[in-house]
Chains A and B, each alone.
Chain A
């Protein structure tokens, strides 16, 4: 069965500094990987995905993520954080061998960007 680990409950960063939110995964087959962001009392908003191709994926709001197959990681990054990036971030994986095509989510990482 697939699983996702987000080892940090919270990441704190100063505005203007680079940020990284970590994600590692476990699947039986090849993965589809996703990042979603959730603002308070809101739904899940899609940021970016890795399906195939280039390991570096660029998404919304200046975020990017790098797929690393050997380390089974898909860390989310941004070169320069904004206070408005403060939110809850979820990594999710779909196992290509899973016939229901469901997404499994990590436990979430709260990003706090201080002015």
Chain B
């Protein structure tokens, strides 16, 4: 069964450093998402991406965040200057058929900011 792949599985970074979280969505999917989950809590929507541009972003997705699909397969989330409160699990997801086929989530990247 096709999978969404996320790397790395765990990243530790110093406060103020930039991090890039990587995702490889399912190849024939067209809609891509990033979500954040602070330890054991609610899964929060960050951003949706379609046709090489952001279609919607949440209040959490401020100027320190950016997304990119640089090469037609990878989908990245960049956090420019990390803060302690950015520590969370970050999930990538993709779907096709506007969601009717279901949404496939990656296994997540646990980001720890120290």
The residues of A with any CB-CB pair to B shorter than 8 Å are: 32, 34, 36, 42-44, 46, 49, 51, 88, 90, 92, 94, 98-108
> A46, B41: Cβ atoms under 8 Å?
no
Q: Which residues of B contact A (CB under 8 A)?
A: 31, 33, 35, 40-45, 48, 50, 55-56, 91, 93, 95, 98-100, 102-108
CB nearest to B95 among chain A residues: A101
A32 close to B105 (CB less than 8 A): no
B105, closest chain A residue (CB): A44
- A–B Cβ pairs within 8 angstroms, 21 of them: A32-B100, A34-B102, A34-B103, A43-B91, A43-B106, A44-B91, A46-B102, A46-B103, A46-B104, A90-B43, A98-B56, A99-B55, A99-B56, A100-B50, A101-B50, A101-B95, A102-B56, A103-B103, A105-B43, A106-B42, A108-B42
With CB as the reference atom, state the residue of chain A lying closest to B56: A100
**Shortest Cβ distance from A43 into B: residue:** B107
> Are B93's CB and A103's CB within 8 A?
yes
Residues of A within 8 A of B55 (CB): 99-100
Question: Bound state CA distance, A49 and B102, in angstroms?
Answer: 7
Q: How far is the CB of B11 from chain A (nearest CB, A)?
A: 15
B30 to chain A, nearest CB (A): 10
